[in-house]
Amino acid sequence: MRNHRRESIANWIKYGIKSDDYDKLYDYHMSIKNCQLCNVEFDDSFKNQRCLDHDHETGLYRKTLCRSCNANYKTARQKLKKSNTSGHMWVINHKTKSTAGNMNFTWRFDRTMTHKRVRKCFKDKTKCIALSFIMLLKEPF
């Protein structure tokens, strides 16, 4: 009989997923009953199997998705943009050029919520990420 926990953790390490405690991550991942994107219930069918989605640059866990959503995540509205170096969905490093030709770097929060679009720029990355968390509390995705 195979040891699912041991094989899953070995695969996560092989694919570059980083965690301080793989056992806790495994327990959390296996406790989720529905896809965190489309809400389908996990089962034994191929497209509804549980998948651990992670950021390929940092190796950090993002969500537990069904196989179908995980395969289509590159086209999902909630994906991280390629220019995103912050690790947060709606926070990107934004570069602008002034009329004098000087380059300015700011952090931009940009999220379309149910009733409105919220877009704000910050010079401080921490303030931008704080707004991201506040907006996530107001309206989870």
Q: What is the number of domains present in the chain? A: 2
Q: Are residue 71 and residue 132 in the same domain, yes or no?
A: no
Q: Are residue 42 and residue 68 in the same domain, yes or no?
A: yes
Q: Are residue 42 and residue 100 in the same domain, yes or no?
A: no
- pLDDT, one tens digit per residue, over 68-118 is 888 876 544 445 555 555 666 677 777 777 778 787 788 888 887 777 888
pLDDT of residue 75: 46
Asked if pLDDT for residue 120 goes beyond 80, the answer is: yes
For residue 12, CA distances in Å to 5, 52, 77, 122, 136 come to 11, 9, 25, 35, 27
- pLDDT, one tens digit per residue, over 21-70 is 999 999 999 999 998 888 889 988 888 899 998 877 788 888 898 988 88
84 inside domain = no
56 inside domain = yes
Domain of residue 130 covers 91-138
Q: Are residue 15 and residue 68 in the same domain, yes or no?
A: yes
Instruction: Give the CATH number for residue 28.
Output: 3.40.1800
Q: How far apart are CA 141 and CA 120, in angstroms?
A: 19
51 inside domain = yes
Region 111-127: mean pLDDT is: 83
Q: Are residue 34 and residue 64 in the same domain, yes or no?
A: yes
Q: Are residue 11 and residue 70 in the same domain, yes or no?
A: yes
Asked if residue 128 lies in contact with residue 107, where contact means CB atoms within 8 angstroms, the answer is yes
